[in-house]
């Protein structure tokens, strides 16, 4: 069977289709404009769930987050190979785990979620050092790690805004 993905024909098996389905967050990565932003929006309910888990068991929530990051790297690697591209824009699992980190264990209020979302998108797009260097790492690690860096910057910025009483 053959499927068309991002203007290139790719032979995909059922397993390949499942990989692409997960890497694109159920197909969200195929939206024609701002797939990274839409992918980050998809991350919000997952973030709320992870933060709720962190209230009851921070160690388990941390393990879940780290596991999600490693799964995202594996998915991004396999999806990029299937699509025969270095960093396909349709892969949005990297935005999801980056946002999960950026909003990890933050208060679940609308101002905090909005600030986390906007800051994460800013840091992801700006590729503040060393994110631009991390993006050069081969395979899924490079696809995901620049978003992890954006998540780290977001986490720090949100914590500072909370500490200063701005949020």
Give me the pLDDT at residue 102, please. 96
DSSP state of 51: H
Task: Compute φ and ψ for 135, nearest 5 degrees.
Answer: -65, -20
Among 5-9, 18-22, 100-104, 151-155, the least confident range: 5-9
Q: Could you tell me the pLDDT band of residue 103, with boundaries at 50, 70 and 90? A: very high
Residue ranges of the alpha helices (H) in the chain?
Answer: 14-23, 35-56, 58-83, 93-102, 110-126, 131-134, 139-163
Residues facing 10 on adjacent strands: 3
Q: Taking Cα atoms as reference points, which of 28, 39, 23, 62 lies closest to residue 121?
A: 39
**Can you tell me whether residue 49 is helix, strand or coil?**
helix
Report d(CA 155, CA 93) in Å as an integer: 18
The structure tokens 């954006």 sit at 150
Q: In the numeric block, which tokens belong to residue 139? A: 């395979």
Q: What is the mean pLDDT of residues 24-33?
A: 90
What are the boundaries of each domain within the chain?
2-163
Cβ atoms 9, 76 nearer than 8 A: no
Give me the pLDDT at residue 8, please. 47
Cβ atoms 58, 105 nearer than 8 A: yes
Give me the pLDDT at residue 18, please. 92
Q: In the predicted model, is pLDDT for residue 52 greater than 80?
A: yes
Q: In the predicted model, is pLDDT for residue 12 greater than 80?
A: no
Q: Flag whether the pTM goes above 0.95.
A: no
7: left (phi over 0), alpha (psi -120 to 50) or beta: left
Of residues 93 and 5, more confidently modeled = 93
């Amino acid at each position: 069977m053959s499927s068309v993905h991002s203007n290139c024909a790719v032979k995909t098996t059922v397993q390949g289709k499942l990989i692409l389905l997960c890497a694109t967050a159920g197909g969200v990565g195929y939206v024609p404009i701002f797939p990274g932003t839409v992918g980050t929006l998809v991350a919000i309910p997952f973030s709320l769930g992870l933060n709720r888990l962190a209230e009851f068991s921070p160690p388990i929530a941390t393990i879940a987050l780290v596991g999600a990051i490693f799964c995202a790297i594996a998915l991004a690697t396999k999806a990029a190979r299937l699509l025969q591209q270095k960093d396909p824009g349709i892969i949005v699992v990297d935005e999801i785990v980056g946002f999960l980190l950026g909003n990890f264990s933050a208060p679940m209020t609308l101002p905090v979620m909005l600030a986390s979302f906007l800051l994460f998108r800013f840091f992801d797009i700006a590729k503040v050092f060393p994110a631009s260097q991390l993006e050069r790492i081969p395979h899924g690690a490079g696809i995901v790690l620049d978003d992890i860096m954006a998540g780290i910057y977001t986490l720090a910025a949100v914590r500072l805004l909370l500490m200063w009483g701005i949020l």
